[in-house]
Amino acid sequence: MRLRVNPIACTGHGSCADLLPELVSLDEWGYPLVADGAVPPELARRARRAVRDCPALALLLTADPEPGRR
Amino acid sequence: MTGLLARAGATPVTAPHGLPRLIPAGAGADPGLAAHLARLGPPAHSPAGAAPQAGPAIIAAAQAAGLTGRGGAAFPVHRKLRAVAAAGRPGRAVAVANGAESEPASGKDRSLLWLAPHLVLDGLQLAAEAVAAGRAVLYVHRDPDLARHLADALAHRAAAGCDRIATEVVQAPDRFLAGETSALASRVSGGPARPGFAEPPVYERGIGGRPTLVHNAETLAHLALTGRFGPGWFRAAGLPGEPGSMLCTVHRADGAGHVTEAALGTALAALLPGLGGPGRGEVQAVLCGGYHGTWLDPAVAAGLTLSRASLREAGAAPGAGVLAELPASRCGLAETARVARYLALESAGQCGPCFNGLPRMAAALAELAAPRPAPRAEADLRRWAGLVGGRGACHHPDGFVRFVASALGVFRDEVAGHARGRCRATDRAPFLPVPAPPATEADWS
């Protein structure tokens, strides 16, 4: 599982960084910087919660490595 | 099938030898459908074509030719065709010719649509056959004259019975990002021409939720020729690993500009007189790949060729073929700052890192372009570059960062000079073409 942000939907509430500081920090404008790589199993539960609690529904958990866009 | 097409099918043609292939030399105007068919024979998709081809054969030919996209990303054509063909049942897909060339410094797709529209339209039909599309769209920037020209070309094709499916022309607003694939899909679906978070990708769910094939107009022109004359003919130009030719928009230091077709692997010095010929010394930098591209030192550029493999050594890429010489008389930082401001204003304003970062970076560049800039401007610029790259729904921030970072490298002496209050410019007139800002922020449809 990987954590991704839909950058169009994201409005910088920052709740993901509060709930999951191990994987998400905020840039100087309040938008999330998500750690690369797979979500470690011990953080999976809180990652799911962060996804559920995002007020903008902008945080996603994807099963596979990010497929090529375009 | 009417007389025009049957006559073209009955008259043998010889494959064009050498370059140019796409726009006949000296063509000052579109010669029209009859002359197009007389020169090249009937299109490969038509019943009069030399070998009417089914989808898999068209895709196999594109693969054997090694044709890649000419819109900038150089993605293999056969892979896109195969992905769209596999994504839905026959008749469901939409095939699009993307002629909404957004680089202000590029004029090649516009030239192609004015001078050889039937080649693009042949390619669109062939691509539509390849993916069994039920709809064909030609997407161009809003331009009443061009729209009339294309409508005439389509009327002639309809009268001659050239095409299986009619091509609709859809016009896009004059915005830098309007030609981005997901923006295109949104616009043709009736929405704004803004990039989307393309998930699932456009080739699976694009226009109206249908599998959507989007190819650059020039790419389709090459496909049309490959369909007629075969992969071996296509590979007669270019490099084994990067076959064929591409259209380039060349801007010379003396202010002249033109569109030319060059084989992949052509020395940049053969395209840019300032890199070796009599213009040597007049050029202080070369912009390669347009406003999402890379500034190069002329001494470096002189040793490179027009190919991904060669340009990669210098952190550059051919992109959509923009090559611009910056005259020695101009300030590279001032030119970069002007373009950066334009690009920042062309952000769709959707993604936080882009709408926060790009205007700040453009302002920091304007600071660096002025005498005795605030000492922190360059450090700010480098930090923000690290924050915006890779964080947009589209590649606008990535291209912006590439362009700006290359400027800080190539114009480092100028940065140092400005810190001491000195600038090399003897001419402050703008050099690179930058359109006026949009009339209204909301004009995305």
Fold (topology level) of A2-62 = Alpha-Beta Plaits (3.30.70)
Return d(Cα A29, Cα A17) in angstroms, integer: 13
pLDDT of residue B182 exceeding 60, the answer is yes
Nearest CA in chain B to A25: B387
Residues of chain A with C-beta less than 8 angstroms from the C-beta of B357: 29
DSSP string covering B100-123, please? Answer: ----TT--HHHHHHHH-HHHHHHH
* Diameter of chain B measured on Cα atoms: 73
User: Which of the 8 DSSP states describes residue B438?
Assistant: P
> Which residue in the set B73, B351, B387 is minimally distant from A7, CB to CB?
B351
Give mean pLDDT, residues A25-46: 96
At residue B101, what is the residue type? E
Tokens of B50: 């030399």
Judged by a CB distance cut-off of 8 A, whether residue A8 touches chain B is yes
Return d(Cα B121, Cα B311) in angstroms, integer: 31
Q: Confidence class of residue B145 from pLDDT cuts 50, 70 and 90?
A: very high
Tokens of B285: 């930098």
**Structure confidence at residue A67 (pLDDT):** 52
> Which residue in the set B75, B182, B393 is minimally distant from A7, CB to CB?
B393
Portion 18-57 of A in contact with B at CB < 8 A = 27-31, 33
Convert chain A into a string of H (helix), E (strand) and C (coil): CEEEECCCCCCCCCHHHHHCCCCEEECCCCCEEECCCECCHHHHHHHHHHHHHCCCCCEEEECCCCCCCC
Nearest 5°: phi and psi at B255?
95, -15
At residue B6, what is the residue type? A
Examine the predicted complex and report whether its ipTM is higher than 0.85: yes
Q: Name all contacts of B51-54 with Cβ < 8 Å and 24+ positions apart.
A: B53/B126, B53/B129, B53/B227, B54/B129
Return d(Cα B180, Cα B184) in angstroms, integer: 6
pLDDT of residue B250 exceeding 70, the answer is yes
Q: Which of B39-53, B78-92, B267-281, B417-431 has the lowest mean pLDDT?
A: B39-53
Sheet holding B135-141, edge to edge: B167-172, B135-141, B94-98, B212-216
Nearest CA in chain B to A6: B197
Q: How many CB pairs under 8 A join A and B?
A: 48
User: Which of the 8 DSSP states describes residue B417?
Assistant: H
**Structure confidence at residue B444 (pLDDT):** 82
Residues of chain A with C-beta less than 8 angstroms from the C-beta of B197: 6-9
Q: Rounded to the nearest 5 degrees, what angle is found at the Cα of B138, between the Cα atoms of B134 and B144?
A: 140
Is B364 strand, coil or helix? helix
Nearest CA in chain B to A62: B199
Return d(Cα B417, Cα B375) in angstroms, integer: 13
Q: How far is CA A15 from CA A40, A48, A55, in A?
A: 20, 13, 8
Q: Confidence class of residue B118 from pLDDT cuts 50, 70 and 90?
A: very high
Q: Confidence class of residue A70 from pLDDT cuts 50, 70 and 90?
A: very low
Give mean pLDDT, residues B117-125: 98
Contact present, A15 and A55 (Cβ < 8 Å): yes
Beta-carbon separation of A8 and B393 below 8 A:
yes
Q: Tell me the domains of chain B and their CATH numbers.
A: 3-235 (3.40.50.11540), 245-327 (3.10.20.600), 332-426 (1.20.1440.230)
Q: Confidence class of residue B54 from pLDDT cuts 50, 70 and 90?
A: confident
Domain ranges of chain A: 2-62
pLDDT of residue A68 exceeding 60, the answer is no
At residue B253, what is the residue type? A
**Structure confidence at residue B171 (pLDDT):** 96
Q: Rounded to the nearest 5 degrees, what angle is found at the Cα of A32, between the Cα atoms of A28 and A37?
A: 130
Return d(Cα B167, Cα B97) in angstroms, integer: 10
Q: Is the dihedral of CA B151, B156, B159, B160 positive or negative?
A: negative
What residues in chain B have their Cβ under 8 A from chain A's Cβ atoms? 73, 75, 181-182, 196-199, 201-202, 350-354, 356-357, 387, 391-393
**Structure confidence at residue B11 (pLDDT):** 81
Which residues 6+ apart lie within 8 Å of B151 measured at CB?
Answer: B169
Which residues 6+ apart lie within 8 Å of A69 measured at CB?
Answer: B198, B199, B201
User: Is this structure's pTM higher than 0.80?
Assistant: yes
Judged by a CB distance cut-off of 8 A, whether residue A65 touches chain B is no
Q: By percentage, how much of chain B surpasses pLDDT 70?
A: 96
Return d(Cα B357, Cα B348) in angstroms, integer: 13
Tokens of B33: 């459908």
Nearest 5°: phi and psi at B131?
-110, 10
pLDDT of residue B228 exceeding 80, the answer is yes
Kind and range of the H or E run holding B299: helix B298-301
Q: Confidence class of residue A69 from pLDDT cuts 50, 70 and 90?
A: very low
Contact present, B245 and B60 (Cβ < 8 Å): no
At residue B407, what is the residue type? A
Mean pLDDT score across all residues of chain B: 94
Give mean pLDDT, residues B197-207: 91
Residues of chain B with C-beta less than 8 angstroms from the C-beta of A67: 201
**Structure confidence at residue B70 (pLDDT):** 97
